[in-house]
Chain A
Amino acid sequence: MVTTRYTRTAIGLHWLIAVLIIVAFALGWTMADMENSPRKLRWISWHKWLGITVLGLTAVRLLWRLGHPAPALPASVPLWQQKAAEGVHFLLYGLMFAIPLSGWLFSSARGFSVVYLGILPLPDLIGANEELGDWLHTVHIGLNYTLLAVFGAHVGAALKHHFIERDDVLARMVPWLERKG
Protein backbone atom coordinates (compact mmCIF):
# COMPACT_ATOMS: atom_id res chain seq x y z
CA MET A 1 0.00 0.00 0.00
CA VAL A 2 1.26 3.45 -0.88
CA THR A 3 1.63 5.79 2.06
CA THR A 4 -0.75 8.67 1.61
CA ARG A 5 0.05 10.73 4.64
CA TYR A 6 2.99 11.86 6.72
CA THR A 7 3.79 10.00 9.95
CA ARG A 8 2.30 11.38 13.12
CA THR A 9 5.77 12.50 14.25
CA ALA A 10 6.33 14.39 11.00
CA ILE A 11 2.90 16.02 11.26
CA GLY A 12 3.50 17.00 14.88
CA LEU A 13 6.93 18.48 14.10
CA HIS A 14 5.58 20.32 11.05
CA TRP A 15 2.85 22.13 12.95
CA LEU A 16 4.90 22.73 16.08
CA ILE A 17 7.74 24.28 14.07
CA ALA A 18 5.22 26.28 12.01
CA VAL A 19 3.73 27.85 15.14
CA LEU A 20 7.18 28.56 16.65
CA ILE A 21 8.34 30.21 13.41
CA ILE A 22 5.24 32.38 13.18
CA VAL A 23 5.62 33.56 16.79
CA ALA A 24 9.38 34.15 16.38
CA PHE A 25 8.77 36.05 13.13
CA ALA A 26 6.08 38.24 14.71
CA LEU A 27 8.30 38.99 17.72
CA GLY A 28 11.27 39.79 15.49
CA TRP A 29 9.21 42.00 13.22
CA THR A 30 7.72 43.96 16.13
CA MET A 31 10.75 44.26 18.39
CA ALA A 32 12.99 45.61 15.64
CA ASP A 33 11.23 48.98 15.79
CA MET A 34 10.76 49.12 19.57
CA GLU A 35 12.45 51.66 21.81
CA ASN A 36 14.95 50.11 24.22
CA SER A 37 13.01 48.83 27.21
CA PRO A 38 12.95 45.80 29.51
CA ARG A 39 10.13 44.45 27.35
CA LYS A 40 12.29 44.72 24.26
CA LEU A 41 15.11 42.82 25.98
CA ARG A 42 12.64 40.11 27.03
CA TRP A 43 11.26 39.83 23.51
CA ILE A 44 14.75 39.64 22.02
CA SER A 45 15.56 36.77 24.38
CA TRP A 46 12.31 34.95 23.68
CA HIS A 47 12.94 35.43 19.97
CA LYS A 48 16.40 33.85 20.34
CA TRP A 49 15.05 30.95 22.40
CA LEU A 50 12.35 30.29 19.81
CA GLY A 51 14.95 30.38 17.04
CA ILE A 52 17.24 27.91 18.81
CA THR A 53 14.23 25.64 19.42
CA VAL A 54 13.36 25.76 15.72
CA LEU A 55 16.97 24.95 14.85
CA GLY A 56 17.00 21.92 17.14
CA LEU A 57 13.57 20.64 16.09
CA THR A 58 14.44 21.10 12.41
CA ALA A 59 17.49 18.89 12.90
CA VAL A 60 15.31 16.23 14.56
CA ARG A 61 12.76 16.59 11.78
CA LEU A 62 15.32 16.18 9.03
CA LEU A 63 16.75 13.07 10.70
CA TRP A 64 13.24 11.67 11.04
CA ARG A 65 12.53 12.40 7.42
CA LEU A 66 15.63 10.54 6.28
CA GLY A 67 14.13 7.38 7.76
CA HIS A 68 10.53 8.18 6.83
CA PRO A 69 10.28 9.59 3.29
CA ALA A 70 7.49 12.00 2.46
CA PRO A 71 4.38 10.40 0.90
CA ALA A 72 4.26 10.72 -2.88
CA LEU A 73 2.13 13.44 -4.45
CA PRO A 74 -0.94 12.21 -6.37
CA ALA A 75 -0.16 11.20 -9.98
CA SER A 76 -2.50 14.01 -11.09
CA VAL A 77 0.12 16.59 -10.10
CA PRO A 78 2.14 17.63 -13.16
CA LEU A 79 5.84 16.84 -13.07
CA TRP A 80 6.92 20.52 -13.02
CA GLN A 81 4.77 21.10 -9.98
CA GLN A 82 6.26 18.06 -8.28
CA LYS A 83 9.73 19.48 -8.96
CA ALA A 84 8.62 22.93 -7.75
CA ALA A 85 7.24 21.40 -4.55
CA GLU A 86 10.53 19.60 -4.01
CA GLY A 87 12.42 22.86 -4.53
CA VAL A 88 10.17 24.78 -2.12
CA HIS A 89 10.57 22.12 0.57
CA PHE A 90 14.32 22.08 0.05
CA LEU A 91 14.39 25.89 0.44
CA LEU A 92 12.21 25.74 3.55
CA TYR A 93 14.56 23.28 5.22
CA GLY A 94 17.56 25.38 4.25
CA LEU A 95 15.97 28.52 5.66
CA MET A 96 14.92 26.78 8.88
CA PHE A 97 18.62 26.11 9.47
CA ALA A 98 20.05 29.31 8.00
CA ILE A 99 17.75 31.78 9.74
CA PRO A 100 18.35 30.69 13.34
CA LEU A 101 22.05 30.28 12.59
CA SER A 102 22.31 33.78 11.11
CA GLY A 103 20.51 35.12 14.19
CA TRP A 104 22.87 33.26 16.51
CA LEU A 105 25.88 34.59 14.57
CA PHE A 106 24.39 38.09 14.69
CA SER A 107 23.94 37.83 18.45
CA SER A 108 27.53 36.67 18.92
CA ALA A 109 28.83 39.50 16.74
CA ARG A 110 26.85 41.99 18.84
CA GLY A 111 28.70 40.76 21.91
CA PHE A 112 25.72 39.01 23.44
CA SER A 113 25.90 35.31 24.13
CA VAL A 114 22.73 33.30 23.63
CA VAL A 115 21.64 31.74 26.92
CA TYR A 116 18.97 29.25 25.97
CA LEU A 117 15.87 29.73 28.16
CA GLY A 118 18.03 31.97 30.35
CA ILE A 119 19.71 28.83 31.73
CA LEU A 120 21.91 27.12 29.16
CA PRO A 121 24.73 29.29 27.79
CA LEU A 122 25.41 28.48 24.14
CA PRO A 123 28.89 29.09 22.74
CA ASP A 124 29.57 32.29 20.84
CA LEU A 125 29.96 31.35 17.19
CA ILE A 126 32.17 34.34 16.44
CA GLY A 127 33.80 37.16 18.39
CA ALA A 128 32.21 40.57 18.89
CA ASN A 129 32.55 42.60 15.71
CA GLU A 130 30.18 45.45 15.07
CA GLU A 131 30.61 45.68 11.29
CA LEU A 132 30.14 41.97 10.84
CA GLY A 133 27.14 42.21 13.19
CA ASP A 134 25.48 44.84 10.99
CA TRP A 135 26.07 42.68 7.94
CA LEU A 136 24.67 39.59 9.66
CA HIS A 137 21.62 41.59 10.70
CA THR A 138 20.98 42.42 7.04
CA VAL A 139 21.49 38.77 6.11
CA HIS A 140 19.10 37.64 8.87
CA ILE A 141 16.41 40.02 7.64
CA GLY A 142 17.00 39.14 3.98
CA LEU A 143 16.64 35.44 4.74
CA ASN A 144 13.42 36.15 6.60
CA TYR A 145 11.91 37.99 3.64
CA THR A 146 12.93 35.02 1.51
CA LEU A 147 11.19 32.75 4.00
CA LEU A 148 8.08 34.92 3.86
CA ALA A 149 7.98 34.54 0.06
CA VAL A 150 8.63 30.78 0.12
CA PHE A 151 6.10 30.38 2.94
CA GLY A 152 3.56 32.20 0.76
CA ALA A 153 4.20 29.77 -2.10
CA HIS A 154 3.97 26.79 0.29
CA VAL A 155 0.67 27.86 1.86
CA GLY A 156 -0.74 29.06 -1.45
CA ALA A 157 0.00 25.72 -3.12
CA ALA A 158 -1.50 23.77 -0.20
CA LEU A 159 -4.70 25.80 -0.33
CA LYS A 160 -4.89 25.55 -4.12
CA HIS A 161 -4.67 21.75 -3.89
CA HIS A 162 -7.35 21.62 -1.25
CA PHE A 163 -9.88 24.12 -2.52
CA ILE A 164 -9.32 24.26 -6.27
CA GLU A 165 -7.95 20.89 -7.26
CA ARG A 166 -9.80 19.26 -4.38
CA ASP A 167 -7.18 16.55 -3.95
CA ASP A 168 -5.64 15.07 -0.77
CA VAL A 169 -2.28 16.87 -0.90
CA LEU A 170 -3.06 19.01 2.16
CA ALA A 171 -4.67 16.04 3.91
CA ARG A 172 -1.27 14.32 3.96
CA MET A 173 -0.36 16.87 6.64
CA VAL A 174 -3.87 17.42 8.10
CA PRO A 175 -5.37 13.90 8.35
CA TRP A 176 -8.91 14.94 9.30
CA LEU A 177 -9.25 16.78 5.98
CA GLU A 178 -8.98 13.53 4.02
CA ARG A 179 -11.72 13.17 1.46
CA LYS A 180 -13.61 9.88 1.52
CA GLY A 181 -13.64 7.87 -1.65
Chain B
Amino acid sequence: MLKRWLWQSAAVLGFGLAALGVQAGQALAPEQSEITFVGKQMGASAQGRFQKFTADAALDPAAIDKSRIRVVIDMNSVALPASDFTTEVKRKRWFDTAGFPEATFESKQFRKLDGGAYQVDGILTLKGVSRDISAPLSLKTEGSDLLAEGQFEIKRLDFNVGDGQWADTDTVANEVQIKFKLRLKPRP
Protein backbone atom coordinates (compact mmCIF):
# COMPACT_ATOMS: atom_id res chain seq x y z
CA MET B 1 0.00 0.00 0.00
CA LEU B 2 2.66 2.47 1.09
CA LYS B 3 4.89 1.34 -1.75
CA ARG B 4 2.17 1.97 -4.28
CA TRP B 5 1.51 5.41 -2.82
CA LEU B 6 5.22 6.26 -3.05
CA TRP B 7 5.33 5.21 -6.70
CA GLN B 8 2.34 7.35 -7.50
CA SER B 9 3.79 10.34 -5.72
CA ALA B 10 7.07 9.92 -7.54
CA ALA B 11 5.27 9.70 -10.86
CA VAL B 12 3.28 12.86 -10.16
CA LEU B 13 6.40 14.69 -9.04
CA GLY B 14 8.24 13.50 -12.13
CA PHE B 15 5.52 14.69 -14.49
CA GLY B 16 5.33 17.96 -12.61
CA LEU B 17 9.08 18.61 -13.02
CA ALA B 18 9.00 17.59 -16.65
CA ALA B 19 6.11 19.99 -17.27
CA LEU B 20 8.13 22.80 -15.72
CA GLY B 21 10.80 22.09 -18.31
CA VAL B 22 13.63 24.57 -17.74
CA GLN B 23 13.43 24.01 -13.99
CA ALA B 24 15.19 20.69 -14.46
CA GLY B 25 17.94 22.57 -16.24
CA GLN B 26 21.08 21.36 -17.89
CA ALA B 27 24.43 20.08 -16.79
CA LEU B 28 27.78 20.36 -18.51
CA ALA B 29 29.26 17.66 -20.71
CA PRO B 30 32.83 18.36 -19.54
CA GLU B 31 34.68 16.27 -22.11
CA GLN B 32 33.00 18.20 -24.94
CA SER B 33 33.42 21.63 -23.38
CA GLU B 34 36.38 23.96 -23.10
CA ILE B 35 37.40 27.18 -21.43
CA THR B 36 40.63 28.68 -22.70
CA PHE B 37 42.39 32.01 -22.36
CA VAL B 38 44.91 33.79 -24.54
CA GLY B 39 47.27 36.42 -23.21
CA LYS B 40 50.12 38.23 -24.88
CA GLN B 41 53.69 38.63 -23.70
CA MET B 42 56.10 40.78 -25.69
CA GLY B 43 53.62 40.65 -28.55
CA ALA B 44 53.50 36.84 -28.61
CA SER B 45 50.30 34.95 -27.76
CA ALA B 46 50.31 32.39 -24.99
CA GLN B 47 47.35 30.11 -24.49
CA GLY B 48 46.13 28.29 -21.42
CA ARG B 49 43.10 26.25 -20.54
CA PHE B 50 41.11 24.98 -17.59
CA GLN B 51 40.70 21.24 -17.43
CA LYS B 52 38.01 21.14 -14.74
CA PHE B 53 34.88 23.21 -14.50
CA THR B 54 31.19 22.63 -13.96
CA ALA B 55 28.07 24.43 -15.03
CA ASP B 56 24.55 24.55 -13.81
CA ALA B 57 22.26 26.03 -16.40
CA ALA B 58 18.72 26.53 -17.54
CA LEU B 59 19.43 27.90 -20.97
CA ASP B 60 16.69 27.97 -23.55
CA PRO B 61 16.82 30.08 -26.72
CA ALA B 62 13.01 29.99 -26.72
CA ALA B 63 12.86 31.49 -23.24
CA ILE B 64 16.04 33.53 -23.30
CA ASP B 65 14.96 36.14 -20.76
CA LYS B 66 14.39 33.40 -18.16
CA SER B 67 17.67 31.65 -18.90
CA ARG B 68 20.50 31.42 -16.41
CA ILE B 69 23.87 29.79 -16.01
CA ARG B 70 26.44 29.43 -13.30
CA VAL B 71 29.93 28.21 -14.16
CA VAL B 72 32.48 27.19 -11.55
CA ILE B 73 36.11 26.81 -12.61
CA ASP B 74 38.64 24.78 -10.65
CA MET B 75 41.60 27.17 -10.84
CA ASN B 76 44.08 24.42 -9.94
CA SER B 77 43.17 22.70 -13.19
CA VAL B 78 44.84 25.45 -15.21
CA ALA B 79 47.25 24.15 -17.84
CA LEU B 80 49.73 25.92 -20.06
CA PRO B 81 51.77 24.16 -22.75
CA ALA B 82 54.89 24.16 -20.52
CA SER B 83 54.59 22.84 -16.96
CA ASP B 84 56.88 25.48 -15.47
CA PHE B 85 54.48 28.14 -16.71
CA THR B 86 51.56 26.18 -15.26
CA THR B 87 53.34 26.32 -11.91
CA GLU B 88 54.05 30.02 -12.41
CA VAL B 89 50.43 31.06 -13.05
CA LYS B 90 49.24 29.19 -9.95
CA ARG B 91 51.46 31.34 -7.76
CA LYS B 92 50.17 34.02 -5.47
CA ARG B 93 51.07 36.85 -7.83
CA TRP B 94 48.99 35.39 -10.68
CA PHE B 95 45.91 33.26 -9.92
CA ASP B 96 46.81 32.40 -6.31
CA THR B 97 45.05 29.06 -6.70
CA ALA B 98 45.78 28.15 -3.07
CA GLY B 99 43.98 31.25 -1.78
CA PHE B 100 41.28 31.33 -4.49
CA PRO B 101 40.73 27.77 -5.74
CA GLU B 102 37.56 28.66 -7.65
CA ALA B 103 36.44 31.25 -10.14
CA THR B 104 32.76 31.63 -10.95
CA PHE B 105 30.59 33.20 -13.55
CA GLU B 106 26.97 33.85 -12.68
CA SER B 107 24.62 35.19 -15.32
CA LYS B 108 22.32 38.08 -14.57
CA GLN B 109 20.48 38.18 -17.86
CA PHE B 110 20.52 36.82 -21.37
CA ARG B 111 19.44 38.94 -24.32
CA LYS B 112 18.73 38.16 -27.93
CA LEU B 113 20.61 40.32 -30.42
CA ASP B 114 19.80 41.03 -34.03
CA GLY B 115 21.06 38.39 -36.42
CA GLY B 116 20.52 35.37 -34.20
CA ALA B 117 23.29 36.04 -31.69
CA TYR B 118 22.88 36.41 -27.95
CA GLN B 119 24.48 38.43 -25.21
CA VAL B 120 24.95 37.42 -21.61
CA ASP B 121 25.56 39.84 -18.77
CA GLY B 122 26.84 38.50 -15.51
CA ILE B 123 29.36 38.61 -12.74
CA LEU B 124 32.80 37.07 -13.01
CA THR B 125 34.51 36.37 -9.71
CA LEU B 126 38.21 35.70 -10.09
CA LYS B 127 40.85 35.84 -7.37
CA GLY B 128 38.20 37.14 -4.99
CA VAL B 129 37.28 40.11 -7.19
CA SER B 130 33.79 40.32 -8.69
CA ARG B 131 33.18 42.33 -11.83
CA ASP B 132 30.37 42.79 -14.30
CA ILE B 133 31.13 41.37 -17.68
CA SER B 134 29.17 41.01 -20.87
CA ALA B 135 29.84 38.46 -23.58
CA PRO B 136 28.34 37.79 -26.97
CA LEU B 137 27.60 34.15 -27.56
CA SER B 138 26.00 31.78 -30.01
CA LEU B 139 23.51 29.14 -28.98
CA LYS B 140 23.09 26.04 -31.09
CA THR B 141 20.77 23.14 -30.49
CA GLU B 142 22.16 19.73 -31.37
CA GLY B 143 19.62 17.07 -30.63
CA SER B 144 18.74 17.62 -26.98
CA ASP B 145 22.08 19.33 -26.33
CA LEU B 146 22.65 23.04 -26.33
CA LEU B 147 26.02 24.37 -27.44
CA ALA B 148 26.94 27.78 -26.02
CA GLU B 149 30.02 29.36 -27.53
CA GLY B 150 31.53 32.78 -27.15
CA GLN B 151 34.45 34.91 -26.16
CA PHE B 152 35.08 38.05 -24.19
CA GLU B 153 37.98 40.14 -23.00
CA ILE B 154 38.97 40.97 -19.47
CA LYS B 155 41.74 43.13 -18.08
CA ARG B 156 43.83 40.93 -15.82
CA LEU B 157 44.75 43.81 -13.51
CA ASP B 158 41.05 44.36 -12.73
CA PHE B 159 41.33 41.03 -10.91
CA ASN B 160 44.84 41.58 -9.49
CA VAL B 161 46.16 38.83 -11.74
CA GLY B 162 49.87 39.51 -12.11
CA ASP B 163 50.55 41.98 -9.34
CA GLY B 164 53.78 43.48 -8.05
CA GLN B 165 56.40 43.64 -10.77
CA TRP B 166 54.01 41.82 -13.13
CA ALA B 167 51.66 44.80 -13.12
CA ASP B 168 53.92 46.03 -15.93
CA THR B 169 51.67 45.64 -18.97
CA ASP B 170 54.47 46.35 -21.48
CA THR B 171 55.70 42.79 -20.97
CA VAL B 172 52.49 40.90 -20.25
CA ALA B 173 49.47 42.63 -21.78
CA ASN B 174 46.59 43.61 -19.56
CA GLU B 175 44.03 42.26 -22.03
CA VAL B 176 43.23 38.57 -21.88
CA GLN B 177 40.76 36.83 -24.20
CA ILE B 178 38.55 34.21 -22.60
CA LYS B 179 36.93 31.70 -24.91
CA PHE B 180 34.28 29.23 -23.90
CA LYS B 181 32.53 26.35 -25.56
CA LEU B 182 30.02 24.68 -23.31
CA ARG B 183 27.94 21.67 -24.24
CA LEU B 184 24.89 21.48 -22.00
CA LYS B 185 22.85 18.34 -21.65
CA PRO B 186 19.37 18.23 -20.14
CA ARG B 187 19.33 16.76 -16.69
CA PRO B 188 17.57 13.41 -16.62
Contact = CB atoms under 8 A, between A and B. Distances in A.
B43 A130 contact: no
A41 B172 contact: yes
Contacts of B45: 113
A45 B46 CA distance: 13
Interface of A: 36-38, 41-42, 44-45, 110-115, 118-119, 121, 128, 130, 133
Contacts of B19: none
B88 interface: yes
Nearest to A46: B42
B44 A111 contact: no
A114 to B, nearest CB: 7
A118 B170 CA distance: 11
Contacts of B42: 41-42, 44-45, 115, 118
Contacts, number: 47
20 contacts: A36-B88, A37-B165, A38-B168, A38-B171, A41-B42, A41-B172, A42-B171, A45-B43, A110-B81, A110-B82, A112-B46, A112-B81, A113-B44, A115-B44, A118-B44, A128-B81, A128-B82, A130-B81, A130-B82, A133-B82
A178 B88 CA distance: 55
Interface size range of chain B in the complex: 10 to 19
Contacts of B144: none
A134 to B, nearest CB: 9
Nearest to B43: A118
Given A113-B45, A115-B43, A130-B83, 9 more contacts: A38-B166, A38-B170, A42-B42, A45-B42, A112-B46, A112-B81, A118-B44, A130-B81, A130-B82
Interface string B23-57: 00000000000000000011111110000000000
Contacts of B44: 45, 112-115, 118, 121
B133 interface: no
A130 B171 CA distance: 23
